[in-house]
Amino acid sequence: MTRPSSSATAAFLTLVCALLISACDQPSNEPTKKQQAIAKVGIVTLASETYTLTSELPGRTAAYRVAEVRPQVNGIIQKRLFKEGSDVKANQQLYQIDPAIYEANLKSAEASLLAARSLAERYKILVAERAVSRQQYDDAQANRLQAEAALERAKIEQRYTRVLAPIAGRIGRSSISEGALVSTGQAQELAVIQQLDPIYVDVTQSATDLLRLRRELANGLLEKAGDNAAQVTLKLQDDSHYLHAGTLEFSEVSVDAGTGSVTLRAVFPNPDGLLLPGMFVHARLVSGVQNKAILAPQQGITRNPKGEPTAMVLKADNTVETRQLKAERTVGNRWLVTDGLNEGDRLITEGLQFIQPGASVEPYPAGNVKAPAENAEPSANAASQAQ
């Protein structure tokens, strides 16, 4: 049996030592994996601020006053004295009804009054001399009073042949023309006058929103906006803003059973006649002021599978926490959050796709959040509420 040489044994030992040294010198991968597990996220520190709560509600314009012009005597229309679609003044003559028969009645009433007055004055002298009875004198006085009333009635009827505008405003088209026969109590009006300055705007608000608003005011979550609480602004159909502000007049005392809404009426100045009755508008009402409102950037608000709003918040030890929120409405590029976020919370807006609840992260100031859109209008659409 041949024994291995000493040189072969030395070579084998040298190889084993080299493998052991190489295994000892190989670096561990655990620190690298640990280092790779720490993600970087962008955060925004939330701060409370004063927010004026407004509601944008649909509505329609309505004339401030509407008067239907109708004849008060019977007769033939001789003239139409206005231009259709023009502005008329109160007591301006609009039509002329043939006055011939009423002028004749007026002269007859004047003659009857003259005779009755003369007889009453004559009987006054004769009753003192006992030439006529007291009863005859009383009858003469009564006839005189009746003649005076008949004369006054004849004057009124003769005056009613001149059809006057009951109010100032814009008159529409005429439903009759010269030569038409009109009569008192007829169903069809001669024309319609609408006062457009000022003008009404009737808007509707859901009873649910109205109850929530009153409850928040009662609980102190909202403060009344003072004198501005009654101010209303308008946005027209072409998305332009109406220059003049209006004031809230009243709210309906009952809820519409079909729609579940309450009607609110506002009054707007309309010096240029831009607003016409029946126009569709959006009215913005100042409801109240929330002194410590939390407005969170939309980049940090997501939805869970149930559609509920959620947010990732960084805790004091730089670990991620998930919170469920109540988001009332959008305010420009932010959400108005009423529950789930507080002042000083660090909201994660960048790197949300790389983190999970409970993970440790490295924060830095977020760069994907723009400055608040100060002139943006809050949306009060019920579809945007996520409570």
Q: Strands, DSSP E only, in 181-279?
A: 181-182, 191-206, 231-235, 246-251, 261-268
- Give 48's contacts (C-beta < 8 A, 6+ positions apart): 291, 292, 293, 294, 343
User: Cα-atom radius of gyration of the chain, to the nearest Å?
Assistant: 44
Structure tokens at 215: 């409850």
Q: Which two tokens stand for residue 35?
A: 């280092």
Q: Which domains does the chain have, with CATH numbers?
A: 48-62+196-384 (2.40.30.170), 75-98+161-188 (2.40.50.100), 99-160 (1.10.287.470)
Confidence at residue 285, expressed as pLDDT on a 0 to 100 scale = 80
pLDDT digit string, tens, across residues 70-123: 999 999 999 999 999 999 999 999 999 999 999 999 999 999 999 999 999 998
User: What's the pLDDT tens digit per position in 261-277?
Assistant: 888 888 999 998 899 99
A 10 A CB-CB count for 263 gives 17
Least confident of 28-37, 214-223, 346-355: 28-37
Q: Say if residues 364 and 40 touch (Cβ distance below 8 Å).
A: yes
- C-alpha to C-alpha distance for 247 and 268, rounded to whole angstroms: 7
- Token pair for 321: 């926490």
pLDDT in tens, 211-249: 776 776 666 555 555 555 567 889 998 889 999 988 887
Cα–Cα distance measured from residue 247 to residue 266, given in angstroms and rounded to the nearest whole number: 5
pLDDT at 88: 95
